[in-house]
Structures are given as structure tokens and as C-alpha cells.
Chains A and B, each alone.
Chain A
Amino acid sequence: MPISGLVVTFASSVEEHISTIESITNIPEIDLGQACGSKLAIVVDSETKTRDQEIWNAVRDLPGVIDLAVAMVAFDEDTEEEPSTRN
């Protein structure tokens, strides 16, 4: 199921959005990472794609969040490539 490395961008410095960060912390599938300036790194590890979408929507709708970017996603765990067998 999806694992995403995301970057939350706030309208101003991260320190000015403590209550929003608390809300993010309260989402059990999220781990907080590095923060710098107006950006905060998070990882979302959810059980289902539906839950992933719910979390995505919830974070993006939190007060002060102006952007949510994806740094990395692993959503297709069943397609880990074996070497090609074309021949």
C-alpha cells in the first residue's frame, strides 16, 4: 500500500503553524521529518489507497498549508520489476 515522502509548504515559517503540525502529528500514519523555513518533510504509510487519499486531502486542507508536494512515492508494490524476460 502507498508509502509517500511528502513536503508540506506553509504560508509562512513552520514555527508559526504549531496547531496545524499538531493536527498532522495526530494522524497515526504520518511520521514527521525535517523542517526548514516554510517546508516540512513527512512520510505517509497507509494501509489502503483510500486512506492515503483521505490523509492527502486532510493535510492539504489544514489551515496554513499552501502546497503538498510529493518527493517520492511507492504505490505499486506488486510491480517490482524482475529482469525483463522478453527473449
Chain B
Amino acid sequence: MNNDRRALLKTAAMAAAGSMVAGATLPVLQADQAVDGLPTGEGLEWNKAPCRFCGTGCHVQVGVENGRVVAVAGDKAADVNKGLLCVKGYHVGGILYGKDRLTRPLLRKDGKLTEISWDEAIETIAQRIFDSPDTFAFYGSGQWTIPEGYAAQKFMKGGLSNNHIDPNARLCMASAVTGFLATYGVDEPAGCYQDLDECDVLITWGNNPAEMHPVLFSRVTDRRSRGEQVRIIDIGTRRTRTTDAANDYLEMKPHGDVAISLGIMHLLIENDNYDQSFVEKHCNFRGDEADTPTLQGEPISEEEFRQRIAKYTPEHVEELSGVPADKIRMLADLFGQHDIRITSLWCMGMNQHTMGTAINSLVHGVHLLSGHFGRPGDAPTSLTGQPSACGTVREVGTLAHALPGGRVVTKPEHREQSEGFWNVREGSISEVPGYHTVKMFEQFTKPTAAGGDITTMFVQVTNPGQTLPNLNTLFNDKQGLEDKFLIVSDVYPTATTALADLILPAAMWVEKNGMFGNSERRTQQWFKMVDPPGEARDDCWMTIAIAHKLFEMGHEGMKDKDGEFIFAVKDDAGQEIPVWEFDRYYDTNVDKHLFEEYRQFTTMKHKNLAPYEEYVKARGLRWPVVEQEDGSWRETKFRFSGFDDPFVKAGEEFEFYHSSSSDGRAQIWFHEYQPPPEMPDEEYPMWLCTGRVLEHWHTGTMTRRVSQLSRAMPTAYVEMHLEDAQAANIRQGEIVTIESRRGVCDLPVWIDGRGRPPRGTIFVPFFDETKLINNCTLEAYDPFSKQPDYKKCAARVVKKTTAKVPS
């Protein structure tokens, strides 16, 4: 290592440590320029955009000079982040300028990737689809912008009559969706980030916001520096940076969260300490059907609920969860206090869970039973890991079973409505749900002759070759299946492009127009600011261009009822603009056309959106956004609460107006504890948990191209407990092989590192494409959400080499 680099690393290390000391754990950088005080120079222009990473939805000011992003500043006008950015956000501009951007379409010919023209690329894709439309699948993303996802959704379901479209968000927040649906009859959190400013107690359930949503977490910890009291209770399977800021740390066994929530509800009932008034007015009790459980469940009486939950005594919960009984009592006592405000936060830890729907429902139930709901600071809130997991996946509905605006393909009236909005022929939309992610890839990697009925797959804006669980089965097995054809649109070479037959270079972030929807129902908009490199093009354009090629080939689905192209855009004179030609794509704002069409879908589930131009003016607006008498548009912070939600009946304190029981009530669920699908045993004695780190965003495709972030966290590692390491004669930094029943992965060991797992547990971040930990993980999934469990499977650690120590 040269001296300059060593000095840089020492400086960075001191800065990171210093920020933890001074800022109560958070390496958050304060942008020092106000929006109206940003420096200007000849040719330097600033414009707003939401950050490209995570679901927080921080706004940044992007400085552009000579056609290049040269600066990024936290946006002080943004309510979400108030000028703050985390280390990833601070470097978000750098993600455009990695040296190995993909710039030309590449087709694999005789095993070798060969540059081809865009015309050939589009024609190749259209021909594959035309020849076999039913065996085509579209795999998308929570990183799709709203218009991108909407275009893909319309292309598949309205155009091809094919429901095989699913997103990577199936892997990160599907259980949150089903948890909300089961509880409230409609998706997405009722509260908002203001809850973090007003809660007295914050409970993080298997959640590490100090690293994964650092700007949000700073809203809580910064309150302490102002002298406010806020108690943080961290419930988790390993100590993290969030634990460092917590007043209480409750270390649970994997799946222990289910038992803990049942234990809290047991005590609230047993001690007659629940909010009887709230429950009587606003809640029903619900349980699984005995034979075939459904997401709706069946009604049960309060007495039946009492009987079922009776066995979850603190002592029994201690056995199941490993959390001491007195800590369960402490939690129940807190929820029993109605004069305090309690906010729960969760993300992947609860969602990537074979009881994902159940645990989501149970935590909602804890809040409902105790009445800690619907007041600022009282909220059960799931966070999202991708910038538009909510806006694109959940709201536009880019899931195998869904249609835009909360509709589903299985309901005839929903299909009819959608066909009406799209002006496509009656019966265009298939009533059969498509394949969810795991099934989609199973069918793609299974030989066609053996029933693998997905033969062509188009992957946009995501990297399943690194993120799918059990990669050897679900992705790597595609190799050698000559009749399968993988199309990948991306900005950099990835583990997915490595197996692609056709690679399309994509524009990213401010190289195109876009809209995202964040975790607090906030829809945000930005404009294109710079050109993409080489021949990289917008993903939305790719979808429209393929659709138009099919239209030219005579595919009936690409014509609407009037015989026009389903993505036709006309100018003020009524002339069609050929947006399928890339050099004409920006003759108009395609995003605006698609968004205004999509807006029609948003009222059925009261997710009303404002016109596009309102989002141009704002740093996002939280839906439902409703027009006022004076013509202005008002956002909603607290849904279902009469004081703020315009759709709650006048005079009602609360109303769950999409109740699955059609009586305006939310459902308090009982679910029986079930053990994890795979448990450590003699052969594989350790729990393996995977996750993320502060510096890298998901698969690291973008952040590993930013030298500052890559240097700060250059490689994946395995966190081990000191005693486990000593017992295996493993020392700090030595390389070990992680083995599971599905695969292996070699990693350096980090003992007492940033995260500190308990004995018998190891943790590996998944950002590093050179160390694919998902070769080891399990594809078992939640029966309702179909979301796999990345947080717990059985593994063993085998010492590979001994570090050579200089004498």
C-alpha cells in the first residue's frame, strides 16, 4: 500500500470513528450549502432529484457543468432529509462515471459478446416475443421509475396478455405488502417520517437503520442532542450500529420476533392493559383457516383470540425467542402506556422471513391492540430498500398477480377497469397470475423439455445473478440451456450480464427523466440533466421500442381498440410523435404522458396522485393528494386518521376504509409460532444471515464504482463471534469457506467487527460480486408473499488457509 493511500485510509478511518463519537454512531455528512446559496459558475446549473439509493427518498441538488455531474449537495428544501445525506448519497453523482459503463448493445454469437446495432437488438427481442409470447417473462425492479414500471406493466398485461412480470422487490418487501393487506385491506404505511420526530419510543425489529437508512435514523438520534428523550429498543439477531445507539438490546433467536409479538399481545390481554376502546371501535380479530390458510383468514372472537394466545406466556416466549421473560414484560408494559408514543420500524429482517406475512401482521396487531396507532409518533412502519419499491412495485403493481392502483388480475371488474383505461380489447388481460420471482427463475432454468416454460426473459434495472437465493439452482443453471435467452439491460457489467445472451446499455438516474415513490408514500420527480454515455438509452424507451416493433410485425395486442399503437403519444395538433425512435424520444415528456395515464388508476384504493406538474414544483408529495377548493393540492401525512386523511368520514377519529371485513375495521391477527424452515444441526451447525452495509447499495454494482466507497468497504467478509472463531482456531482476517447444502463461498473473517453476531451465528453482506454468498442461501419462501428467507439457513465455517504472518 503506498503512503498516499495509507494516509487517505487513516483519515477516512478517523473521520468514521470520530463521527460515531460525536454523532452517536452516524457517519452522516452535513451538506453546507442551502438551496438558494449553492455556488454558481459559468455553465454550472443545479436541479433537484431524489437520491438513486434506498427507499428513504432523500432529495439532492445536482450540479451539472459542461454536460457532466460535478457536484451533489443535500437539499435543505427537502422535508425528508433537510440537507443531510449519508455517505452513499454524498457520492451518488459518481455512480454515473465508472470506467466500464456499458455503451453498446452486445449479442452473444458463438459464445462471444459482439457489438450490434440498437435496431438489431430491438428486432431480436421482438422476434423472440412474437414467436412465443406466452413463454416470455419480464423481471423488473423497485429501481424502475414509475413510468418505466407502468410501461412494462401495460406492455405485458395489456399488450401481450401475459402476467409473467415480477420485480426484485419480491425479494425485499413483498411480506410487508401482504402484512398491510391482511391487516388494513390496503397496502403501505399509514404513518410517515414525522413519527420519528415525535415518538417517545422507537423499536427496531430486526432492523439496522443506522446503516441502511442512516438519514432517517439521524432524525431520531439528533433529537437526543437537542435534549429530547427518545428511547430506542433494538430487537435483533446480532448487535449492529443501531444497537450502539439503543437503550435496550434484546437479542433474539431467528424467528424469535414472532414469539415476542405474541408474548406482548398475551400480556396486554392477560393484564387487561390493552386499549379496549380502540379495539371495540376499530378492530376485529382474525386467524388462519384450519385447512387452507388465505390472506383474508377467518374471523375469530376476542375470546377465541384470548384462548389461542394464552400459551404465549413470557416464559414460553423466552424459550422460543431467547429473550428473557422480564424483557417481554418490559415491552408489554411500554405498549400498555397510552400516554407515550411508540413507533416500530422494520425492513428486510421481518420481510425476508418464511413467516413474513405473519410477523408483519403481528406487529401491526401489537400496535392496534395497544392503541398505539394513528397519532403522530404512534405507528407501525415498514421501510423499503429500493427508491421506488413503493411507487413502482406496490402502487403501479408490477407484480405477477397485480394491476395498477391496487387491482388484481383475478377480479373481472379490475381487469375490465384496466382494459378500459388502456383502451385495449375486452379480455386482453389474463385472469391467471403469472410466476412470482422464485417460480419465474425456476421455470427459466429448468429445461424446456422438462416443463421449463419460460424461454425468454428480459431483466431491467436489477441484478438477479447476484440477488436471487440459491443461485446455483435459480440462476447459474441457465448455463448450457441453449434454447433459453436472457436479455439484460444495465449500466455496468454484472453477475447477471455474465450469463446474458443480449446486453442493452441503459441510461441511469439523471441521464433520464424519472419519478420514484418512497417509503412514506411520497412521489418524487426529476428531469434528465446529462446525456448517457455512448449509445446507452432509457429503459422506458426500450420497452416502447420493442412494443412498436411488435406493432409493426402485426401483433394484435400492441394495437388498442381503435387500431392505434398502445403507447401512442400525440402532439397538440393530434400528430403522433414517434417516441419509439430514440432521437425523437425527448421531443415530448414521455414520463408525463405515462404518469397522467397512470393517475387514472390511483383513486380506487384512495392512493390519489396530483397532476405531473405539481411534482415538478415539489420535493415530493405524500398520497393521497387531493385537490382543494382553491385549486391547490394537499398531501396526506397520516392515513386513516380523521384529523388528516380526507377520506375518513367527517367526525370519525379513525376509519380503515378499505377494511377486508368491509366494516371500517382493521384486523388483529393471531398466527401460531412456527420454527424456521432450516435449522442448524450437527452437519451445518451455524445460522447464516445475510444483509447490507452502509457503504454499498445492494449488489454494489454502482457503489463499488465509487472509489471512496469501494475503498472504505472493499470486500465482503464473514462476521464471527470470537469464541466460535477460537474454537475453530480461526484468526482475524483468515479466509474461510462458508458451506451450506446449496453452495460455498470464501470470505475473510471479521471478529468483533461492525456487526457482532452471537455464538452460533455468522453474518455476510451480499454486495460483493466476487463473493456470491447467495450460492449458499435458501429459497424457501413465505406462503403468502412468496418472499424468500435470506436471514436464516444452516451453514458451517471451514478454515481454508492460515494467514502467512511475517516473522
Contacts and interface: CB of A to CB of B under 8 A. Distances in A.
On whether the two chains bind one another, the answer is yes
A79 B495 CA distance: 18
B20 A39 contact: yes
Mostly, the B contact residues are mixed
Contact of B17 (A2, A6, A49): A6
A74 B714 contact: yes
Contact of A72 (B22, B497, B712): B712
A41 B733 contact: no
Contacts of A74: 9, 12-13, 711-712, 714
B113 A87 contact: yes
Given A5-B16, A74-B9, A84-B100, A69 B754 contact: yes
A39 B23 CA distance: 11
Nearest to B734: A49
Interface residues of B, number: 51
Contacts of B711: 74, 80
B493 A80 contact: no
Which of A2, A4, A60, A74 has most B Cβ within 10 Å? A74
B106 A7 contact: no
A31 to B, nearest CB: 7
Given A33-B14, A74-B712, A84-B100, A1 B1 contact: yes
B1 A71 contact: no
Given A43-B17, A80-B710, A86 B10 contact: no
B98 interface: yes
B99 A83 contact: yes
B745 to A, nearest CB: 15
B21 A3 contact: no
A40 interface: yes
B753 interface: yes
A13 interface: no
A48 B731 CA distance: 12
A10 to B, nearest CB: 12
B9 A81 contact: no
A49 B769 CA distance: 25
Contacts of B113: 87
Contact of A71 (B6, B27, B106): B27
B593 interface: no
Contacts of B748: 75-76
Contact of B22 (A34, A47, A77): A34
B805 A48 contact: yes
A81 B715 CA distance: 8
A87 B22 contact: no
Contacts of B495: 86
A73 B17 CA distance: 10
Interface in A4-43: 4-7, 31, 33-37, 39-43
Interface string B703-715: 0110000111111
A76 B714 contact: yes
Contacts of A50: 731, 803, 805
Given A2-B733, A71-B27, A87 B503 contact: yes
Contacts of B731: 49-50, 53
A58 B100 CA distance: 44
A70 interface: yes
A50 B805 CA distance: 7
Contact of B14 (A1, A31, A53): A31
Nearest to B756: A69
B17 A52 contact: no
A3 B9 contact: yes
Interface string B573-601: 00000000000000000000000000000
B805 A72 contact: no
A18 B394 CA distance: 56
A34 B732 contact: no
B16 A81 contact: no
A1 to B, nearest CB: 7
A39 B16 CA distance: 13
A61 to B, nearest CB: 12
Nearest to A40: B21
Interface string B147-165: 0000000000000000000
A75 B733 contact: yes
A5 B211 CA distance: 16
19 contacts: A5-B17, A33-B18, A36-B22, A37-B21, A43-B14, A45-B10, A49-B805, A53-B731, A56-B752, A71-B20, A72-B16, A76-B715, A77-B714, A79-B714, A80-B711, A81-B710, A85-B100, A85-B493, A86-B498
Interface of A: 1-7, 31, 33-37, 39-43, 45, 47-50, 52-53, 56, 60, 68-77, 79-81, 83-87
Interface of B: 1, 5-6, 9-10, 12-22, 27, 98-100, 106, 113, 244, 492-495, 497-498, 503, 704-705, 710-715, 731-733, 748, 750, 752-754, 769-770, 803, 805-806
